[in-house]
Amino acid sequence: MTNLFAARAQMGMSLGFHIIFASIGIAMPAMMVIAEWLARRTGDVQYRELARRWAKGVAILFAVGAVSGTVLSFELGLLWPRFMQYAGAIIGIPFSLEGFAFFTEAIFLGLYLYGWDRIPARAHQAAGLIVAVSGAASAVFVVMVNAWMNAPIGVTIANGQIVHIDPLAGMHSPAALAQVLHMLLAAYASTGLAVAGVHAMMLLRRSSSTFHRHAIAVALFVGVPAAILQPFAGDLEARVVARTQPVKLAALEGQFATQHDAPLRIGGLPDVAARRTRYAIEIPGGLSLAAFGDRHATVQGLTAFPRQNWPPVAPVHLAFQVMVGLGVAMALVSIWCIGVAWRRREIASHRALLRALLIVSPFGFIATEAGWVVTEVGRQPWIVQGLMRTADAVTPMPGLTVPFTVFTLLYVGLAAVVIILIRTQVRDTGTA
89-126 pLDDT, tens per residue?
888 888 889 889 988 988 999 899 888 888 888 898 99
CB 145 within 8 A of CB 379: no
What values do phi and psi take at 273, rounded to 5? Answer: -65, -40
Taking the mean position of all CA atoms in its chain, how far away is CA 219?
18
Burial of 342 (0-12, 13-18, 19+ CB in 10 A): exposed
Q: What is the pLDDT of residue 387?
A: 86
CA distance 27 to 220: 12
Cα–Cα distances in angstroms (integers) from residue 150 to residues 43, 134, 246, in the given order:
49, 25, 11
Q: What is the pLDDT of residue 249?
A: 92
CA distance 382 to 396: 18
- Give Dmax over CA atoms of the chain in angstroms: 70
User: pLDDT 10s digit of each residue in the chain, 432 long?
Assistant: 788 888 888 888 888 888 888 898 899 999 999 999 999 888 888 898 889 888 888 888 887 888 778 888 888 888 888 888 888 888 888 888 988 998 898 899 989 988 888 888 889 899 999 999 999 999 999 999 999 999 988 877 777 667 677 878 888 889 999 999 999 999 999 999 999 998 898 888 877 778 888 899 999 999 999 999 999 998 899 899 999 999 999 999 999 999 888 898 998 899 888 888 888 888 888 888 888 888 888 889 999 999 999 999 999 999 999 999 999 999 999 999 999 888 877 877 788 999 999 999 999 999 999 999 999 999 999 999 888 899 998 888 877 788 888 878 888 887 787 777 777 766 666 555
Question: Within 10 Å of residue 191's Cβ, how many Cβ atoms?
Answer: 27
Tell me which amino acid residue 267 is: G
Q: Which of 393, 378, 376, 395 is nearest to 87 (CA)?
A: 393
Q: What is the pLDDT of residue 204?
A: 86
Q: Which of 80, 77, 76, 73 is nearest to 99 (CA)?
A: 73
Q: What is the pLDDT of residue 207?
A: 72
Q: What is the pLDDT of residue 382?
A: 93
Compute the C-alpha angle 230/19/407, nearest 5°: 160
Q: What is the pLDDT of residue 426?
A: 67
CB 351 within 8 A of CB 204: yes
Report CA torsion sign: 338, 339, 345, 347: negative
Inter-axis angle of helices 45-79 and 121-150, nearest 10: 30
CB 155 within 8 A of CB 389: no
Instruction: Read off the pTM.
Output: 0.92
Q: What is the pLDDT of residue 430?
A: 53
